Chains A and B, each alone.
Chain A
Amino acid sequence: MQRTSAWTPDYFHKVVDCQFACPAHTPVPEYIRLIADGRYSDAYMVNWKSNVFPGILGRTCDRPCEPACRRGRVEEEPVAICRLKRVAADNKDDITARLPAPADKSNGKRVAMIGAGPASLTVARDLAPLGYEITLFDGDAKAGGMIRSQIPRFRLPESVIDEEVGYITGLGMTLRLGERIDSLKALLAEGYDAIFIGSGAPRGRDLDLPGREEARANIHIGIDWLSSVSFGHIEKIGRRVIVLGGGNTAMDCCRTSRRLGGEDVKVIVRSGFEEMKASAWEKEDAIHEDIPILNFRVPTAFTHEAGKLTGVWFEVVRAEIDAKGRRKLVPSGEPDEHYDCDDVLVAVGQENAFPWMERGIGMEFDEWDMPKVDTITMQSTIPNVFFGGDAAFGPKNIIWAVAHGHDAAVSIDKFCQGQDVTERPPPDFSLVSQKMGIHEWSYDNDIANDRRYRVPQREKAVVLKDVKMEVELGFDPATGYKEAERCLNCDVQTVFADNLCIECDACEDICPVDCITFTVETDETDLRTRLKAPALNLDQDLYVSGALGTGRVMVKDEDVCLHCGLCAERCPTGAWDMQRFTLEMTHAGAACQSR
């Protein structure tokens, strides 16, 4: 097996599971340590730099980091990374003085952005301080995109949106809100140096079933209905509501219905409960609000009487694995079921729509009629037009919109400075020893045994009365501290120096999770089976040393290392050291320019 080329940022970055999984590569353990230290403003700024919306994401993020968290592999549940972000946001001081100052003078480049959602706002934040003249267009009256129009207030108070959107718009840019772009061609003709399209995926899918037309007054497209609720145009719904669909939109629809007069609210979904697209915690919250979720039911028709919806027919199905190993839904043979209701909310998916984008202006489209966009540079086939967020590759989430925004900002910056956008400078990194004494480290290496803490919620009876009342209360600082202590500090890396090891076995003996083995070297597949604990998680790398004195090598399986530092504490020669890994993502500005 090849010796680990440990000195590349990629190897160590991958060890920090959460940061690696975060599309924006937020330095999670770093901000969690700051929270444990009570340095909330510092923790907030670490987040703000990476993910732009800590207070918003601390309540709403899809949290790809949590399933990746190493803690979830050594005990039952991962660290509550997302809700710790909120602790920083809730408890910080006034940070306005720490925000970048608006540029004192223009750099002469003009950039237009279509849509003022998280993708565009990220681009704007990265470019405004560099002197770019930015114009943000949005058809809505306020900036924020779906963060403002879709996410219900009981999950995300408007004050948090105003605050964090305000930090960006305060950097100096022209806001043209309430102004919908209806021709890309016309916008191109206005001579902007670059255009960023962050217009989202605004079209909710409909269900074309018998009765749809006749009962239209009581059948609503989920995302349209949610935005009408957000903007105060809708304040009531019928007593009996059926929500069709199994994604997060369906969960927001049913929970919102419960607050607008829906007493008997059901979610009815085609797939099995487990396969639903909604996150586990969203389902849990819906069930907690007395909303049953009925699975394996495919809607077949809407029933109506005198132009009024009366209910929905469903075919009952079951899942079957076909010859090719794919899951298919097949009729179960049980009789069809009819459910009575007063209103139906259709939340069966979201699509892109670019009716304002002309053909024949240089924009190429793919087989699904989506603009061709480079996945790294976010550039379209019109060189000065860039995409990001849901508009780029279909509906995702806020943190992906942010990650796209950073990448697009780098491209726009390079493009406007006449550089090759495909040349992407790698992130910068450093490794710094955390040793303070023989058994003292600058991080808390003592592993807490606590199980994951639950975020306290307001009483159900109270929150169901007010669609704007936030349900979650957030961790108080004391609980936040305890939850923060569950973090394993995976960014504090175990770094091995072959030439110092005397093969005393002390590290192999002490390691609480059997990560370390001294053995003869073979190929990786074989080596994985011969370790003190076989390395079965192929997603996790092996750290392999060069040949030691006896001819053996040191092999460390990164999989469940607790980063407890005991190997380094028990090593007589300092062959192991605990070193903090910092990754500096390349954002727009000096760092991304070719040198």
Chain B
Amino acid sequence: MTYILKPQLHHPNLPTNARGFTRRDYEGSVSTLCAGCGHDSISSAIIQAAFELNLPPHRIAKLSGIGCSSKTPDYFMGASHGFNTVHGRMPSVLTGANLANKDLIYLGVSGDGDSASIGLGQFAHAVRRGVNMLYIVENNGVYGLTKGQFSATSDKGSKSKKGVVNHDAGIDLVGLALQLGATYVGRSFSGDKAQLVPLIKAGLAHKGAAFIDVISPCVQFNNHVGSTKSFDYVREHNEAVNRLDLIPAHASIKVDYAPGETVMVTQHDGSVLSLHKLAELYDPSDRAAALGFLQSRQAQGEIVTGLLYVDPEAGDLHDALDTVATPLNALDGAALVPGAKALDAINASLR
């Protein structure tokens, strides 16, 4: 952990975005995580993504649970809304917030313990309801904050720092999210910002439940030989199926790759996902095939990364509930209390 504040001085040529903000304006307070923690790299990728997307900081809500990963919202976008829930309860608080004000951009940040152990049920329901959010799990295979116990995503056979072998089967959150109906699913690695930043940008732009599993080595408790979440292991077994670029709505589309190798997917908001195929035959619009591909590669010890599934036409919880256009928290007294006559009419219609 670092005691000094990050200096305000910045590079003289630091670019500004369309809102006049520099990347550094999207920073938060200095991280108190262990030096070298993968989570810090993810924070840095989120900062970069928000900067590139010209996001208005005051329109973003960051929610998290408990854990080293869940502490990170403090370390980015210091000018945005934040909520630290109790352990594993971020999804329901996020769902509630989203119901109350659907106009904010919701970013859920969680850990593998927070989401796959104590919070598994919460995770499942937020995803299956299609809450409009980007849900990021910073997955290090351990409970970092409580000193390195195996978490539910730890692979069977993986060794702890002390040499104990994990005998429980690991939960694959990507597989789970696919089964639960997430409409945007990706996996990435904290050490590969070239892949991670566009994934986060497209996830933030996606309407519906977007989920990214980011493998994020815990340098303190899970970065040794025998771990399947170490820098070295992930680098050796990383199999990226595609490279993603997010092309903002109305921007002219230029693609360097040969035709046929690139798939263009236009999202709801008009932004275009330009997907450069790395694995032949991989089709990110086929949910069932994605599941099969993932499982077969996983059996071979590979870690599949990239944009694994996207449904650009997806709707969200508000569509399903057919709520009014105005965010619920902005409805005035007259709209919320329509009066006795309106009540009579409703009652009459139910008789």
Interface residues of A in 496-537 (CB under 8 A from B): 502-506, 509-510, 512-514, 533-534, 536
Docked pose: A75 CA to B8 CA in angstroms: 10
- A234 within 8 A of partner (CB): no
Of B36, B38, B193, B217, the contact of A570 (CB 8 Å cutoff): B36
Q: In angstroms, how far is the closest chain B Cβ from the Cβ of A373?
A: 41
Q: How far is the CA of A514 from the CA of B14 in the complex (A)?
A: 9
A–B Cβ pairs within 8 angstroms, 5 of them:
A439-B2, A509-B41, A570-B40, A571-B36, A572-B35
B30-88 contacts to A (CB < 8 Å): 31, 34-38, 40-41, 43-44
Cβ of A446 < 8 Å from any Cβ of B?
A: yes
Of the four ranges (under 10, 10 to 19, 20 to 34, 35 or more), the interface on chain A belongs to 20 to 34
Contact of B7 with A562 in the complex, beta carbons under 8 Å: yes
A502-B8 contact given A439-B1, A566-B2, CB 8 Å threshold: no
Contacts of B223 in A (CB 8 A): 502
Query: Do the beta carbons of A74 and B6 come within 8 Å of each other?
Result: no
Q: Tell me, rounded to whole Å, the shortest Cβ–Cβ distance linking A485 to chain B.
A: 12
Residue from A447, A504, A514, A534 in contact with B36 in the complex, judged by beta carbons closer than 8 Å: A504
Per-position 1/0 for B191-207, Cβ under 8 A of A: 10100000000000000
Q: Are B4 and A506 in contact (CB under 8 A)?
A: no
Nearest residue (CB) in A for B8 is A449
Closest to B220 in A: A572
Contact A572 B36 (CB under 8 A): yes
Given contacts A569-B2, A570-B2, contact A506 B7 (CB under 8 A): no
Residue pair B41, A562 in contact (C-beta under 8 Å): no
- The answer, yes or no, to whether B333 is at the interface (CB within 8 Å) is no
Closest B residue to A74 by beta carbon equals B9
Residues of chain B having any CB pair with chain A under 8 Å = 1-14, 24, 31, 34-38, 40-41, 43-44, 190-191, 193, 217, 219, 223, 231-232, 235
CB distance from A116 to the nearest CB of B (A): 45
Residue of A nearest to B45 (CB): A509
> Is A564 an interface position by the 8 A CB rule?
yes
Whether A512 contacts B7 in the complex (CB less than 8 A), given A505-B191, A566-B2, A572-B219, comes out as: yes
Let me know if B36 and A533 touch, CB within 8 A.
Answer: no
Q: Is the CB of A564 within 8 A of B11?
A: no
Residues B11 and A509 in contact, CB atoms below 8 Å apart: no
Instruction: Name the interface residues of A290-319: CB closer than 8 Å to any CB of B.
Output: none
Contact B35 A570 (CB under 8 A): yes
By beta carbon, the residue of chain B nearest A512 is B7
Q: Contacts A503-B231, A504-B231, A533-B14; is A509 near B40 (CB within 8 Å)? A: yes
Interface membership of A550, Cβ < 8 A: yes
Contacts of A438 in B (CB 8 A): 1, 35
Set of chain A residues within 8 Å of B36, measured between Cβ atoms: 502, 504, 506, 570-573
The one of B1, B2, B40, B235 in contact with A550, judged by C-beta atoms closer than 8 angstroms, is B235
Decide: A505 near B193, CB < 8 A? Known: A74-B9, A512-B10.
yes
Sort A-B residue pairs by CB-CB distance and give the 9 closest, nearest first.
Answer: A572-B36, A447-B7, A509-B44, A504-B36, A446-B4, A533-B11, A572-B35, A572-B219, A512-B7
Choose one: B7, B11, B35, B190; the contact of A569 (CB below 8 Å): B35
Does A397 lie at the interface of the complex (its beta carbon under 8 Å from any beta carbon of B)? no
Task: Tell me which of B1, B9, B219, B231 has the highest count of chain A C-beta atoms within 10 A of its own C-beta.
Answer: B9
Q: A75 contacts which chain B residues (CB < 8 A)?
A: 9
Whether A505 pairs with B41 at a CB distance below 8 angstroms is: yes
By a CB distance below 8 angstroms, the chain A residues around B2 are: 439, 566, 569-570
For A514, the closest partner residue in chain B by CB is B11
In this complex, what residue of A is CB-closest to B5?
A: A446
- Partner of B7 from the list A509, A550, A564, A570 (CB cut-off 8 Å) is A564
The reply on A352 being an interface residue by CB < 8 A is no
Known: A570-B40, A572-B35. A533 touches B219 (CB 8 A): no
Residue in B6, B12, B24, B191 whose CB lies within 8 Å of A73: B12
Instruction: For chain A, residues 531 to 583, give those with C-beta under 8 angstroms from any C-beta of chain B.
Output: 533-534, 536, 549-550, 560, 562, 564, 566, 569-573
The answer to whether A513 touches B6, judged by C-beta atoms less than 8 angstroms apart, is no
Q: Min CB distance, B128 to chain A, in Å?
A: 34
Q: Is A445 an interface residue (CB 8 A)?
A: yes
Q: Is the CB of B217 within 8 A of A504?
A: yes
CB of B38 within 8 A of CB of A504, answer yes
Q: How far is the CA of A512 from the CA of B10 in the complex (A)?
A: 6
Nearest CB to that of A568 among chain B residues? Answer: B35
Contact A506 B40 (CB under 8 A): yes
Known: A74-B12, A449-B8. 17 other contacts (CB 8 A): A74-B9, A439-B3, A447-B8, A449-B7, A502-B223, A502-B232, A505-B191, A509-B41, A510-B31, A512-B8, A512-B10, A513-B7, A549-B235, A550-B235, A560-B12, A566-B2, A572-B219
Name the A residues within 8 Å of B43 (CB-CB).
509
Residues of B within 8 A of A534 (CB): 13
A536 neighbours in B (Cβ, 8 Å): 13
Residues on the B chain within 8 Å of A506, using CB = 35-37, 40-41
Q: Give the distance in Å from the alpha carbon of A372 to the alpha carbon of B22 in the complex.
A: 56
Contact residues of A between 415 and 455, Cβ < 8 Å to B: 438-439, 445-447, 449
Q: How far is the CB of A441 from chain B (nearest CB, A)?
A: 10
CA distance A562 to B235 in the complex (A): 32
Most chain B CB atoms below 10 A, which of A446, A449, A505: A505
Q: A560–B9 Cα gap in the complex (Å)?
A: 10
Whole-angstrom distance between the Cβ of A177 and the nearest chain B Cβ: 51
A75's closest neighbor in chain B, by CB? B9
Residue of B with least CB distance to A509: B44
Docked-complex contact B9 and A513, CB < 8 angstroms:
yes
| CB proximity of A214 to chain B, nearest CB, Å | 56
State A536–B11 Cα separation when bound (angstroms). Answer: 12
Partner of B191, one of A446, A504, A570: A504
B9 interface neighbour in A447, A504, A550, A573, Cβ under 8 Å: A447
> Interface digits, A216-247 against B, CB 8 Å rule (1 contact, 0 not)?
00000000000000000000000000000000
Q: Which residue of B lies closest to A564 (CB)?
A: B7
B13, B31, B223 — most chain A CB neighbours (10 Å):
B13
Separation in Å of the A76 CB from the closest CB of chain B? 11
Q: Compute how far the CA of A571 lies from the CA of B235 in the bound complex, rounded to whole angstroms.
A: 19
Chain A nearest CB, measured from B322 CB (Å):
43
Closest to B23 in A: A514
Across the interface, which residues of A come within 8 angstroms of B8, CB to CB? Answer: 447, 449, 512
| Bound Cα distance from A578 to B8, whole angstroms | 20
- CA separation between A106 and B44, bound complex, in Å? 67
A534 to B11 alpha-carbon distance, docked (Å): 10
Question: Once bound together, how far apart are the Cα atoms of A509 and B8, in whole Å?
Answer: 15
In the complex, which residues of chain B have a beta carbon less than 8 angstroms from the beta carbon of A550?
A: 235
Report the minimum CB–CB distance from A538 to chain B (whole Å): 14
The minimal Cβ–Cβ distance linking A492 to chain B, given in whole angstroms, is: 14
Tell me, in angstroms, the Cα distance from A115 to B37 when the chains sit together: 65
Chain B residues with Cβ below 8 Å from A73 are 12
Chain A's closest residue to B4 (CB) is: A446
Q: B217 contacts which chain A residues (CB < 8 A)?
A: 504
Q: Roughly how many angstroms separate A569 CA and B43 CA in the complex, as a whole number?
A: 17
Which residues of chain B are near A446, meaning CB under 8 Å? 4-5
Bound Cα distance from A506 to B44, whole angstroms? 9
User: Is the pair A571, B35 in contact by a Cβ cutoff of 8 Å?
Assistant: yes
**Chain A residues closer than 8 Å to B24, beta-carbon distance:** 512
Q: What are the residues of chain A within 8 A of B4 when measuring CB–CB?
A: 439, 445-447, 564, 566
Q: Which B residues lie within 8 Å of A560 (CB)?
A: 11-12
- Residue of A505, A510, A572 near B34 (CB, 8 A) is A572
Report the Cα distance A447→B5, complex, angstroms.
8
In Å, the complex CA distance between A571 and B35 comes to: 5
**Bound CA–CA A439/B3 (angstroms):** 7
How far apart sit A564 and B10, CA to CA, in the bound complex (Å)? 12
A323 to chain B, nearest CB (A): 34
Task: Give the chain A neighbours of B13 by CB distance below 8 A.
Answer: 533-534, 536
**Chain B residues in 8 Å Cβ range of A504:** 36-38, 41, 191, 217, 219, 231
